[in-house]
Structure 1
Amino acid sequence: MAQRNRHLPLLGLLVLCASCSPNEKLDPVSQVEPAPGDAGAEPDGGGTGNDDDLFATLPEIAPTATGRGGAAATVDLRGTLAAIEILKKGGNAVDAAVAAASVLGATDPFSCGVGGGGFMLVYLAADNKVVAIDHRETAPAGLAASAFYENGAPIDFDELVTSGLSVGVPGTVRGWSEALRRYGTLGLDDVLQRAIRVAETGFEVDRTFFEQTGRNLARFQAITSSKALFLGPDGAPWPVGATFKNPDLARTYRLIARGGEKAFYEGEVAEAIVAAVRDPPVEPGSTLTIRPGVIAASDLQDYEVRIRPAVSTTYRDYTIHGMGLPSSGGITLALALNLLEGFDPELLTPVEVLHRYLGASRLAFADRGAFLGDPEFVEAPVAGLLSKDYADARRDLIDLIKAPTEAAAPGDPFAFQTDPSPSPGRGQGARGRSAGPNDAHDNETTHITISDAAGNIVSYTCTIEAEGGNGIVVPGHGFLLNNQLTDFNIPDDPTAPHPNVAEPGKRPRSSMSPTLVMKDGKPELALASPGGSTIITTVLQILVGHIDLGLPIDKALAAPRISQRNAGSGSSDAETAFLGTPEAEGLAALGHVFSDKNTSGGEIGAATALRFHDDGTVTAVAEPVRRQGGSAMVERAK
């Protein structure tokens, strides 16, 4: 499989013009040039001529790197380079994470961007403390309980995905601003410079970008702003090798760099978001039904970031820190690990370890679906779910002889609450209903893992939800909006209680699982992945592979994946690469049934990780193959 971004145009640093007006209008929404070697193409070897410019001579893509100082791993070479560039200039891991995310908003616009949200887990070395920055999208204040229903029945899920109705209030820019203000050393004006340059100067369309555009073709053809940005004059995706530019996104980044978060949540950008949501720019004559949404200017002005404590558990000799509600990732991961802790991997074969991994995930997902939702709306039994005693009581439900053939029922974690006073609240009404369309897995989202020389670490997952978000580019501003409200559960009966039903101001439940692993009080591992609800199983399988099966972190991350999320049939998803392995044969003998109905060519997730070693070095790891391979770098090679 070809590596992505192997022949990128050379990009230099942008120096902002002090005389430029904040309201300047740039030329076309997108500008695509011929491939290198064709007339008019920007030749390789450009750049600024500055010897200190990391982008002046782009390195070969490497999925693994070991060395000293800071380290970074992302899905894209330019995102990783942007992080290393900030680290080399003296910025810390938080500064570098925002710089990388903003570049990925240009180069990986179908997965992340300022139109979405995310969860950032930060380890502060000086304080030996882990904090979680929740900038998840929220439901608009004007969202009615009946919004996702028509004639008493749920609106078709595909119609919700491509609509203004599915758009949550974006949290990314305020999340970046808050992270930098509290824990960074630089400001938005500093960390956005590389992203401005990448968006304006452009980058070469690779196979991944081309295929992602193709999967969104029908939607983009139906939306004028998306068609103008992502499709050529013939209405087809720009070909592999063309140079893609997004001057409107560069202008949006400039506005944010100059005006801070206020430039996004008020003024022309906010007005354009509201207009695109409430009156989607549908192509004349389109037959696609694109429903309007209800976001108002006040929703954007009032959006708030939450600084939350991390969810923590112990697993064998390790302490695992993850993201708490409204993400279900950290809790579900901790519950599964607590279940697995009762088995000794040294007494088991790899097939037996994987059999227990699937069984633990099944039970954890049963509870995830039944009890978890936005903590500001739901009294979820978090203490009970994290209780080791609760795991002990549930562990015997993992059949060690044969695979299950049906979904597991949720347990009763309320009986294990350390404080029995909280009422079960809305959680009990959801028993037995653990999966829905929003639990379908996908690879749309991205994960960034970064450390700095001072020992600070960032594990950051950001997203616009589905591939291409809701399909609507904000006119004049070059970024796609999210469809995050489809992460709410939509029961057949609009009056049915559920911890994850839509309510005004509520944050939909997420599966994002930024994770930090400590041993003897020191960082050992940082990791996570995209992949919808398979994010949780991807992180869990990597941890099981590394800790229980003894695989080096790069091998654990690259290993073929399987995912059990309490499917009604008892079947598990599997990557195509897993189906021919001896482990697949051994699991089949235990009755496991696998489906490889995955998006993105039979792949599950696209993880990144950092492994910290006792000698002070760090290994950065990205996917070697998935999404055509990611990029890992260190400040100083070993």
Structure 2
Amino acid sequence: MRRLLFSVSASLLCLGLGPGCATSPAPRPEAAARTLPASTATGRGGGAATVDVRATSAALEVLRSGGNAVDAAVAAASVLGVTDPYSCGIGGGGFLVAYLAREGRVVTLDHRETAPAGLERALLYENGAPLPFGELVTSGLSVGVPGSLLGWSEALRRYGSRSLAEVLQPAIRVAEQGFEVDATFHEQTRHNVERFRDFTPSAALFLGPDGRPWPVGATFKNPGLARTYRLVAEGGAPVFYRGEIARAIVSTVTRPPLAPGASRTVRPGVMRMEDLARYEAIVRPPVTSTYRGYTLYGMGSPGSGGVTLALTLNLLEAHAPASLSRAEFLHRYLEASRLAFADRNAFLGDPAFVSAPEAGLLSREYAVRRGATLEGTRASTTAALPGNPFPHQGPARAVLPRVPEVARPAAEEQVPNKETTHITTSDAAGNIVAYTCTIEGEGGNGMVVPGYGFLLNNELTDFDLPAAVDAPHPNAPAPGKRPRSSMSPVLVFKDGAPVLALGSPGGATIITTVGQTLVNHLDFGMPIEQALAAPRVSQRNSPDHRSQAEPAFIASPEAAALGELGHGFTDVGPMGALTAIRFHPDGTVTAAAEPTRRGGGSAMVVEPVK
């Protein structure tokens, strides 16, 4: 999305079009001559990469005024809440991984959404079967307690140098002054138009007077979200979690704002004010692993990306890329990913509810035993079963659990291109942030909180629903539980010095997108901008044994060679929209964003070098 220029003319008025408004564009003969923002930039003083030029510009504005990488990441995220509202915002949550240069340590901040205290699992079943997905996703029952705002507040309080009120100012400006609708924003609205028409505040914000998406080139404004940000700037996080915004969230969840005449079945949720007041953003230790001399830091549970990536790379490390053809190495990569996902699906969940064997899964001895099958030269023709990491768990050994049949896997397993987003920032002092945030599916649960201008998440669809309502499962829903996530913000170091920060959207394909980019860069030696742009393939222990892939990968010589080894591919279109920062020995950095997927991104540095 999001490679258009700011629309900052204060003379463009809302003309009485409701809580959200847009104006049709005037003819612009010079439009064809405009220069699109770059997706790669190299320089000094820090940098930023996001999916949107306005968000990247906000991060640079903060960095140039003396703010640090954490301040810049929050500023960018708040702007994305305006310009990329179908992917992230204060109605959702996220995972932030940060390197604090002065202290020489990595921290992670979990602000994943939680299930309300009243969400008993039986509410998600009817007549002994899970509720239809289409009915659950657009309902109050799919909404987790939002974590983004408290995550931003805590990140700034603990690790930032600016106040929340300060870093929200760029987002307030964009929400008030508006931005130009591009093709991606228009398409995302079009995908949601039937849902939005059924909810009065959603239609008022995102649809024109004719009930259709605002056209490309229109100026879109969100005065409701500008007001919300101003309230938060004045009153802090308590306004959102205990004040008037909290009351509006609960009202929307429990009494969905259906439009007159809407025939959609929309089940109310069970969120209460107490759920919001009790929400916590949690500082957790990073998942730490090594690969070919590099040290990787990722997110632990309820994130699954850190452990799954580490296990995939542990399984792969015994195979030197220089001794194999590209196709032979990719074969082993795909088979390693298949095994890692079998373990991910069997063991990982919210650590407050599940004793996941993370130490065993990260054990080198376990990788040696688990990876013995990777010596084979043929693709697997049966789904991989989970291994047994518990003997490698150390003192915390346990019995291998039986994982029941899942009647419906988590939503992120079913839909490959989830509308999450990723922000990467760094500063002149050496601080680094990799931050992935989301509202889950494109457009969340479809409901805008009336008067406040933001969509609610549908994050609780990320729980797995076992076939039996009372069957145990590490990612089954429970009151107060955080659904397992594939978000995979990662920092890479070598000999104590930063090398790379990266992350991506894409549902469960986030893990494989980040993994393949690491392989492209660390193993195949691609420059980071090429590594993140290269065609993608994703193997997640799929029931049909095939890997999902982009058309360009399916058409590649590597895919043809993999086909000779028994691999099959399913075309799922574009996967992910990665952003990254590469750190060079001379002190410069290269910020890189997706060049084409989702309309392309934006990368900038404080002091460019040629």
Counterparts in 2 of 1:198 and 1:630: CA distance versus 1, 3 Å: same
Query: Which of these residues, 582, 590, 603, is aligned with residue 619 of structure 1?
Result: 590
Rounded to whole Å, the distance in 1 between the matches of 2:262 and 2:408 is 33
Whether the aligned pair in 1 keeps the contact of 2:130 and 2:408 (CA below 8 Å) is no
The one-letter code matched in structure 1 to 2:285 is P
Specify the SS of the correspondent of 1:461: strand
- What pairs with 1:447-462 in structure 2 (closer than 5 Å)? 447-462=422-437
Q: Residue 567 of structure 1 corresponds to which residue in structure 2? A: 542
Whether the aligned pair in 2 keeps the contact of 1:372 and 1:500 (CA below 8 Å) is yes
Q: Residue 537 of structure 1 corresponds to which residue in structure 2? A: 512
- What pairs with 1:445-594 in structure 2 (closer than 5 Å)? 445-594=420-569
- What pairs with 1:400-415 in structure 2 (closer than 5 Å)? 400-415=376-391
Rounded to whole Å, the distance in 1 between the matches of 2:467 and 2:280 is 31
Q: Residue 23 of structure 1 corresponds to which residue in structure 2? A: none
User: Alpha-carbon deviation of 1:173?
Assistant: 0.5
User: Alpha-carbon deviation of 1:405?
Assistant: 1.9
Percent identical among aligned pairs is 61
- What pairs with 1:33-72 in structure 2 (closer than 5 Å)? 33-37=23-27, 60-72=36-48
User: Alpha-carbon deviation of 1:397?
Assistant: 2.3
Rounded to whole Å, the distance in 2 between the matches of 1:92 and 1:637 is 18
User: Is 1:436 the counterpart of 2:409 in the alignment?
Assistant: yes
Q: Residue 170 of structure 2 corresponds to which residue in structure 1? A: 194
User: Alpha-carbon deviation of 1:496?
Assistant: 1.2
Specify the SS of the correspondent of 1:393: helix
Q: Residue 347 of structure 1 corresponds to which residue in structure 2? A: 323
- What pairs with 1:413-428 in structure 2 (closer than 5 Å)? 413-421=389-397, 423-424=398-399, 428=401
Rounded to whole Å, the distance in 1 between the matches of 2:210 and 2:407 is 44
Counterparts in 2 of 1:394 and 1:434: CA distance versus 1, 3 Å: farther
Counterparts in 2 of 1:527 and 1:214: CA distance versus 1, 3 Å: same
Counterparts in 2 of 1:169 and 1:242: CA distance versus 1, 3 Å: same
Q: Residue 112 of structure 2 corresponds to which residue in structure 1? A: 136
The one-letter code matched in structure 1 to 2:567 is H
Counterparts in 2 of 1:136 and 1:307: CA distance versus 1, 3 Å: same
Q: Residue 603 of structure 1 corresponds to which residue in structure 2? A: 574
Rounded to whole Å, the distance in 2 between the matches of 1:389 and 1:140 is 40
Query: Which of these residues, 20, 24, 31, is aligned with residue 30 of structure 1?
Result: 20
- What pairs with 1:78-477 in structure 2 (closer than 5 Å)? 78-398=54-374, 400-421=376-397, 423-424=398-399, 428-430=401-403, 436-438=409-411, 439-440=413-414, 441-477=416-452
The one-letter code matched in structure 2 to 1:309 is P
Query: Which of these residues, 6, 9, 14, is aligned with residue 7 of structure 2?
Result: 9
Whether the aligned pair in 2 keeps the contact of 1:73 and 1:632 (CA below 8 Å) is yes
Rounded to whole Å, the distance in 2 between the matches of 1:102 and 1:70 is 19
Counterparts in 2 of 1:185 and 1:209: CA distance versus 1, 3 Å: same
Rounded to whole Å, the distance in 1 between the matches of 2:514 and 2:39 is 18
Rounded to whole Å, the distance in 2 between the matches of 1:420 and 1:266 is 39
User: Alpha-carbon deviation of 1:584?
Assistant: 1.1
The one-letter code matched in structure 2 to 1:536 is I
Q: Residue 630 of structure 1 corresponds to which residue in structure 2? A: 601
User: Alpha-carbon deviation of 1:415?
Assistant: 1.2
TM-score, normalised to structure 2's length? 0.96
Rounded to whole Å, the distance in 2 between the matches of 1:206 and 1:399 is 48
Whether the aligned pair in 2 keeps the contact of 1:358 and 1:563 (CA below 8 Å) is yes
The one-letter code matched in structure 2 to 1:430 is V
Whether the aligned pair in 1 keeps the contact of 2:130 and 2:407 (CA below 8 Å) is no
User: Alpha-carbon deviation of 1:288?
Assistant: 1.4
The one-letter code matched in structure 1 to 2:583 is F
User: Alpha-carbon deviation of 1:299?
Assistant: 0.4
Specify the SS of the correspondent of 1:122: strand
Mark the runs of 5 or more structure 2 residues left unpaired by the alignment: 11-15
Specify the SS of the correspondent of 2:502: strand
Whether the aligned pair in 2 keeps the contact of 1:370 and 1:433 (CA below 8 Å) is no
Q: Deviations 1:147-202 (Å, cap 9, x if unpaired)?
A: 11011111001111111000000000100000000000011110000100101110
Whether the aligned pair in 2 keeps the contact of 1:68 and 1:637 (CA below 8 Å) is yes
Q: Tell me whether 29-38 or 223-232 shows the greater mean CA deviation.
A: 29-38
Whether the aligned pair in 2 keeps the contact of 1:371 and 1:499 (CA below 8 Å) is yes
User: Alpha-carbon deviation of 1:6?
Assistant: 3.0
TM-score, normalised to structure 1's length? 0.92
Rounded to whole Å, the distance in 1 between the matches of 2:294 and 2:536 is 23
Q: Residue 18 of structure 1 corresponds to which residue in structure 2? A: none
Rounded to whole Å, the distance in 1 between the matches of 2:433 and 2:450 is 32
User: Alpha-carbon deviation of 1:437?
Assistant: 4.3
Rounded to whole Å, the distance in 1 between the matches of 2:114 and 2:491 is 26
Specify the SS of the correspondent of 2:391: helix
The one-letter code matched in structure 1 to 2:334 is L
Specify the SS of the correspondent of 1:532: coil
The one-letter code matched in structure 2 to 1:634 is V
The one-letter code matched in structure 1 to 2:600 is G
Rounded to whole Å, the distance in 1 between the matches of 2:406 and 2:390 is 18
Counterparts in 2 of 1:186 and 1:482: CA distance versus 1, 3 Å: same
Whether the aligned pair in 2 keeps the contact of 1:528 and 1:609 (CA below 8 Å) is yes
Whether the aligned pair in 1 keeps the contact of 2:407 and 2:466 (CA below 8 Å) is no
User: Alpha-carbon deviation of 1:72?
Assistant: 0.2
Q: Deviations 1:574-610 (Å, cap 9, x if unpaired)?
A: 01121111111111111111001x3xxx100000000
Specify the SS of the correspondent of 2:373: coil
Q: Deviations 1:493-550 (Å, cap 9, x if unpaired)?
A: 1111101111111100000000000001000000010000000000000000111111
Whether the aligned pair in 2 keeps the contact of 1:123 and 1:456 (CA below 8 Å) is yes
Specify the SS of the correspondent of 1:286: coil
Whether the aligned pair in 1 keeps the contact of 2:421 and 2:436 (CA below 8 Å) is yes
Whether the aligned pair in 2 keeps the contact of 1:554 and 1:621 (CA below 8 Å) is yes
Rounded to whole Å, the distance in 2 between the matches of 1:200 and 1:371 is 46
User: Alpha-carbon deviation of 1:287?
Assistant: 1.9
Rounded to whole Å, the distance in 2 between the matches of 1:97 and 1:114 is 14
Whether the aligned pair in 2 keeps the contact of 1:367 and 1:434 (CA below 8 Å) is no
Rounded to whole Å, the distance in 2 between the matches of 1:225 and 1:588 is 50
Specify the SS of the correspondent of 1:354: helix
Whether the aligned pair in 1 keeps the contact of 2:405 and 2:466 (CA below 8 Å) is no
Whether the aligned pair in 2 keeps the contact of 1:443 and 1:530 (CA below 8 Å) is yes
Specify the SS of the correspondent of 1:294: coil
The one-letter code matched in structure 2 to 1:401 is T
Q: Deviations 1:374-401 (Å, cap 9, x if unpaired)?
A: 0011001010000010000011223531
Aligned residues: CA RMSD = 1.8
User: Alpha-carbon deviation of 1:7?
Assistant: 4.4
The one-letter code matched in structure 1 to 2:8 is L
Q: Residue 13 of structure 2 corresponds to which residue in structure 1? A: none
Rounded to whole Å, the distance in 2 between the matches of 1:353 and 1:435 is 33
Rounded to whole Å, the distance in 2 between the matches of 1:513 and 1:434 is 26
Rounded to whole Å, the distance in 2 between the matches of 1:165 and 1:466 is 14
